């Protein structure tokens, strides 16, 4: 459905996107994942024809975005990062304008009612966009992209600025859209793309660093690397025990609290040390109050992938109310491995 | 193109700006009409209309400043650029919207003609010529203002730039009088001057050359605006 070949965008000497190539097949929901400034929006702007590529081509359903722009644009519905709304119009007036602008030939009343129902706008159709909350504006933006029933939907951070309930609703909408449309969405929130998308493209510094289904990507990152643990016992003794465990490369105290300190244990790469830690501590009758795998945020993963220094300190969210020793693995991490380990 | 024209025309009257604009224009022009025609019992609309362009010189930047600057600011230019319309349709739609507002303002001056027709004998040819001339000349201003608006995200900068340009043109026109019309500079300035050509319309002479000059100048700035829009994608 979408073919992107060698897409490059330069601003002066700075390459915002360099030599990006991928293709998306019909009905696929694909997620661009990357930190801010990775080139996600630039890529989307180029796919929609908003921005001209320095080099490379984009073909949408056989229509080149440069040479066959009119046909390609009719196939694409685009929701930019800031929804392109006119605050002085009502929702109905705005959608009517977009309907005419896109030279849509579908039956007007039916089409718009359908879209408003889907985007949850039926109650606010007569209101001025200026007076709508951020969540509703986002929905109007989504409704705008849906007008004309485009085969391809490009959504730039569709859930940004929404409250949790709205995020879930929008995700539902996107998932249902995926049955009829090809969707490209971008996000810097890992669980989000993991949940909605059939396939994930990880972009950093304008390059694709990983490409695959969520399952494929998580296969690459089995095993623990860092643990946050609350252990009851004399810190010196605990540290001695921890450092003696094979596979542990480092153990430090991160929160001092008398006999109940919080420790950060780093494993040698690839090793799952959780069982070994449990065995060693129970042997020395040191109670584990909590154990948690450090979830790498996307930023950290990128820092790892790009070989930079990791973030100095992470927020520790140990569950202090849970007294008995518990092993818990909250969420599976994606591609948390150091660069070069897996290839 | 029609969708954009409609939205922009309506957009103008959604805010108080449209009404204030028309109101200010009519207040000033009616004072002129009262002073020139009513008080001296004259049917010489040409003198009223020759002042109209000066009024437009001040008011046109307010009309054109928002055309593109506002779109850039709101991010709605994305919507227009990704819609299946060409830059020509965008530029054309916005230009026609501006002209529509001008037509509304001009239509409000029609009672003058009625008043003259009741109390005297209107010179129909001259009146029609005046309306055509003011429309052509203000179309040039509109195209110039729109071009400057397409260059910047700030409405204020767009307005100041257009105002400076219009005033500069006006001063160039005044300079052309102080130079000898035999000298090259004087001849060039007066040939280029919108106001000189406009005044020759007002005095009742219809000239195809002047009409072509206005139309091609308008076309030039519409073309430049379209080029700017295309450049923005680069």
Q: pLDDT of A200-251, one tens digit each?
A: 888 888 888 888 787 776 655 544 477 888 888 888 888 888 888 888 888 8
Minimal CA separation from B229 to chain A, in Å: 11
| pLDDT exceeds 70 at position A317 | no
In chain A, CATH 3.40.50.300 sits at: 2-219
Q: Are the Cβ atoms of B233 and A50 closer than 8 angstroms?
A: yes
Query: How is residue A9 written in tokens?
Result: 């965008």
Mutation target among B78, B89, B94 for the A interface, most CBs of A within 10 A: B78
Q: Which of A71, A80, A101 is nearest residue B83 as measured by Cβ atoms?
A: A101
Q: Which residue of B has its CA nearest to A94?
A: B7
Q: What is the mean pLDDT of residues B174-194?
A: 78
| pLDDT exceeds 90 at position A276 | no
The whole-angstrom separation of Cα B129 and Cα A40 is 56
Q: Which of A74, A80, A83 is nearest residue B84 as measured by Cβ atoms?
A: A74
Task: Report how many Cβ contacts below 8 Å link chain A to chain B.
Answer: 64
The whole-angstrom separation of Cα B134 and Cα B14 is 26
Predicted confidence (pLDDT) per residue in A59-73, tens digit: 988 888 888 888 888
- 8-state DSSP, A249: E
Minimal CA separation from A87 to chain B, in Å: 9
Q: Are the Cβ atoms of B11 and A70 closer than 8 angstroms?
A: no
Q: Helix B2-14 vs helix B16-33: angle between axes, to the nearest 10 degrees?
A: 80
Coil vs helix vs strand at B160: helix
Q: Which residue of A has its CA nearest to B73?
A: A84
Coil vs helix vs strand at A43: helix
pLDDT of residue A39: 86
Which residues, other chains included, contact A140 with Cβ-Cβ below 8 Å and sequence gap of 6+? A83, A85, A91, A94, A95, A119, A121, A129, A132
In chain A, CATH 3.30.70.100 sits at: 221-343
Q: Which residue of A has its CA nearest to B11?
A: A88
CA angle B43, B46, B51 (to 5 degrees): 120
Chain A residue numbers with beta carbons less than 8 Å from the beta carbon of B233 are: 49-52
pLDDT interval class at B189 (50, 70, 90): confident
End-to-end CA distance of chain A: 29
Q: Work out the burial of residue B149: count CB atoms within 10 Å of its CB; fewer than 13 is exposed, 13-18 middle, 19 or more buried.
A: buried
Residue A10 φ/ψ region, left for φ over 0, alpha for ψ in the -120 to 50 degree band, beta for the rest: beta
Q: Which residue of B has its CA nearest to A46?
A: B233
A66 touches chain B (CB under 8 A): no
B85 touches chain A (CB under 8 A): yes
- Of A132, A86, A48, A78, nearest to B76 by C-alpha is A86
pLDDT of residue B43: 77
ipTM here: 0.88
The whole-angstrom separation of Cα B89 and Cα B67 is 14
Q: Work out the burial of residue B234: count CB atoms within 10 Å of its CB; fewer than 13 is exposed, 13-18 middle, 19 or more buried.
A: exposed
> Per the structure, how many domains does chain B have?
1
Chain B residue numbers with beta carbons less than 8 Å from the beta carbon of A89 are: 7, 11, 14
pLDDT of residue A310: 44
Yes or no: domain A221-343 corresponds to CATH 3.40.50.300:
no
A204 neighbors A34 (Cβ within 8 angstroms):
yes
| pLDDT exceeds 50 at position B16 | yes
Q: Are the Cβ atoms of A97 and B80 closer than 8 angstroms?
A: no
The whole-angstrom separation of Cα A224 and Cα A239 is 19
Minimal CA separation from A163 to chain B, in Å: 23
| pLDDT exceeds 90 at position B211 | no
A340 neighbors A307 (Cβ within 8 angstroms):
no
A125 touches chain B (CB under 8 A): no
* Domain span at B192: 2-232
B-proximal residues of A, 25-54, CB under 8 Å? 48-52
Specify the fold of A2-219. Rossmann fold (3.40.50)
Predicted confidence (pLDDT) per residue in A98-147, tens digit: 999 998 888 989 999 999 988 888 889 999 999 998 888 988 999 999 99
Q: Are the Cβ atoms of B3 and A97 closer than 8 angstroms?
A: yes
The whole-angstrom separation of Cα B111 and Cα A212 is 72
pLDDT interval class at A334 (50, 70, 90): very low
Q: How many CB atoms lie within 10 A of CB B41?
A: 8
């Amino acid at each position: 459905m979408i073919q992107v070949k060698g897409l490059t965008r330069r601003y002066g000497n700075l390459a915002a996107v360099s030599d990006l190539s991928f293709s998306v097949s019909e009905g696929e929901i694909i997620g661009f994942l990357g930190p801010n400034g990775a080139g996600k929006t630039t890529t989307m702007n180029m796919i929609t024809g908003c921005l001209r590529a320095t080099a490379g081509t984009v073909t949408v359903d056989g229509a080149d975005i440069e040479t066959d722009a009119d046909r390609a644009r009719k196939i694409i519905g685009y929701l930019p990062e800031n929804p392109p709304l006119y605050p002085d119009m009502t929702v109905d007036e705005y959608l009517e304008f977009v309907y005419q602008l896109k030279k849509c030939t579908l039956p007007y009343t039916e089409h718009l009612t359908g879209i408003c129902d889907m985007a949850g706008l039926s109650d606010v159709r007569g209101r001025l966009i200026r007076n709508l909350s951020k969540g509703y504006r986002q929905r109007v933006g989504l409704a705008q992209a849906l007008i004309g029933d485009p085969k391809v939907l490009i959504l730039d951070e569709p859930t940004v600025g929404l409250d949790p309930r709205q995020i879930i609703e929008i995700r539902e909408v996107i998932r249902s859209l995926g049955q009829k449309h090809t969707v490209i969405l971008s996000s810097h929130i890992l669980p989000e793309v993991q949940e909605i998308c059939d396939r994930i493209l990880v972009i950093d510094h304008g390059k694709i660093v990983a490409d695959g289904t969520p399952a494929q990507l998580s296969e690459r990152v089995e095993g623990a690397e860092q643990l946050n643990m609350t252990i009851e016992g004399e810190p010196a003794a605990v540290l001695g025990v921890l450092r003696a465990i094979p596979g542990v490369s480092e153990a430090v105290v991160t929160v001092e609290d008398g006999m109940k300190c919080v420790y950060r244990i780093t494993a040698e790469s690839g090793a799952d040390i959780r069982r070994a830690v449990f065995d060693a501590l129970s042997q020395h009758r040191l109670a584990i109050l909590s154990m948690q795998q450090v979830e790498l945020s996307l930023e950290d993963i990128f820092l790892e992938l790009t070989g930079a220094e990791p973030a100095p300190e992470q927020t520790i969210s140990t569950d202090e109310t849970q007294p008995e020793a518990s092993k818990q693995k909250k969420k599976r991490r994606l591609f948390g491995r150091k660069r070069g380990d897996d290839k | 193109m029609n969708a954009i024209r409609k939205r922009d025309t309506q957009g103008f009257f959604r805010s108080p700006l449209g009404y204030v604009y028309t109101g200010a224009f009519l207040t000033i022009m009616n004072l002129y009409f009262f002073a020139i025609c009513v008080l001296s019992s004259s049917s010489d609309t040409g003198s009223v209309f020759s002042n109209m362009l000066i009024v437009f010189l001040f008011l046109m930047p307010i009309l054109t400043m928002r055309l593109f600057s506002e779109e850039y600011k709101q991010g709605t230019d994305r919507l227009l650029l990704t819609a299946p319309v060409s830059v020509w349709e965008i530029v054309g739609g916005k230009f026609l919207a501006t002209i529509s507002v001008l037509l509304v303002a001009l239509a409000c001056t029609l009672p003058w003609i009625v008043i003259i027709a009741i109390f005297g004998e209107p010179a129909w040819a001259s009146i029609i010529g005046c309306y055509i001339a003011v429309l052509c000349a203000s179309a040039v201003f509109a195209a110039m203002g729109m071009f400057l608006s397409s260059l910047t995200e700030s409405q204020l900068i767009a307005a100041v730039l257009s105002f400076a340009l219009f005033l500069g043109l006006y001063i160039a026109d005044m300079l052309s009088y102080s130079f000898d019309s035999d000298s090259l500079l004087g001849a060039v300035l007066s040939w280029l001057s919108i106001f000189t050509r406009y005044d020759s319309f007002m005095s009742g002479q219809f000239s195809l050359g002047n009409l072509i000059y206005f139309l091609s100048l308008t076309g030039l700035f519409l073309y430049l605006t379209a080029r700017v829009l295309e450049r923005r994608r680069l």
